[in-house]
Structure 1
Amino acid sequence: MTAGQLRVVSWNIREGVPVRDPGGTVADALTEAVHRHGPDVLAVQEAPFDPDGGSPLLDAVAVAAGLPHRLYFPYSPAMHLAGGRAGLALLGREPWSEGVRSLLPNPGLRRTTPDRELVTWEKGMLFGRQSLGGRQVWVGCVHLPPFHLFRTAPDDPSVRGVWTGLASFINALPAGPLVVCADLNSERRSLLMDRLPERPLRSAVTAGTSPIGMAVDDVLFGPEFLLRSSSVRFGFSDHALCAVTLELKP
């Protein structure tokens, strides 16, 4: 990490279960993708965990990528790994001085398909704080429900509590520079940003990150930062990796 610069990679990795041939093991593919961008922070949505809350996959990537400082938050049954759990992870090059975790309100959506009964499981927020350029910076990892799977618009009244819960959590964080790495499952950034009038955020990612080209993933950042670069890259997951470089303003 150079003084005042923060390189972030955010990726929904689908519990490490590939939808595309990774050309080797998932651990190798994930490590290679991280190495390519050399991030100071890796934020992972749909992170895979074992029943005890450990993540051998992310532990291996953390060592290989030089990101030894880890915050984990498993909170729901895995969808793709029998007996496993899923959640969020933050891997950092620098130590985390603090970590906070919280579940989002569950809207209780249901949908019956020919194959199964779909219900919304818990989703959550994981934020860590670390030093950057002599200042304490918050970096968050967030995953919202897949509104589209339930044929529910992201601004439907039934899911309003998800957005207000996320905004309330962010508003309650101590003041300071803020970065939010998120799978929002929506292109409607205003559903969050309009609820943060005292803590404005900007979007770093506008390219499509889903299989149908929707920009559902993002790295949001506060006014203390300048955006230096932003790119997306598809790999083994059904979401694209988002790589962003930010720099603290003098």
Structure 2
Amino acid sequence: MTFFSAVRLRTVVLGAALAVGVLAVTGWGAGRLLGQRAFPAASRPPGEAAGHTVVVDPGHGGPDPGAVGGAGTLEKDVVLAVGLELARYLSRAGVRVVLTRNGDTRLVDESGSLKRRQVEDLNLRARRAHEVSASVLVSIHANSFPSPRWSGAQTFYQVGEEESRRLAEAIQAQLVRRLPPNRRVARPADYRVLRESRMPAVVVELGFLSNPDEEVRLRDPAYQGRLAEAIFHGIMDYLSALRGR
């Protein structure tokens, strides 16, 4: 997904990315579904997020690749890989996880105008979260920009939504801590998927595919696992804090 400071200058519209159906992932059986990856399980206190449902939304998919890196890396592939890793982490922590897609597909058909399909994709993403009474919605994307100098993961929340801001700041703090150097902070934005969500919702931009060095990292499964782990801990920090309020 493209990014220009706080301005919505984008070469790819956020969101044409929902798969057919919704995949719910719960418990240790998710390891078989999501694949066994060789990185350690994140440790959190037992029952820390009991009763919560998290919707993980990997952006784009199918005929919509999202942003494309200089070496040909597709946003849709990177965000799906990270989304599946994140789902595995959450599931192993006892969180009910719902994925909006678990393959290279999207929900809407190809009829009608491009704009109609884009808008419907965004609406359906938020609608899925409503249907499963999600505690939070985390939409995952990757940035792109005309200049190759920019790098770093960043989290966005809907303007004026206090709970979404708290969720975004919790995730961003973990991204900064676990994937240095990164001085980016959580920022407000005005995206349809966030506007249409009635629960705390954020967009996590994993990094810039337009930065050659970061593109290499974003293609690396080990780095994808680290991104997923950071987002996981941010989500858990937020859900844990809810218990104290």
TM-score, normalization by structure 2: 0.32
TM-score, normalization by structure 1: 0.32
Structure with more relative contact order (C-alpha pairs < 8 Å, separation 6 or more):
2
Q: Which one has a larger percent strand, Structure 1 or Structure 2?
A: 1
Q: Quick check: which has more Rg, 1 or 2?
A: 1
Q: Which one has a larger percent helix, Structure 1 or Structure 2?
A: 2
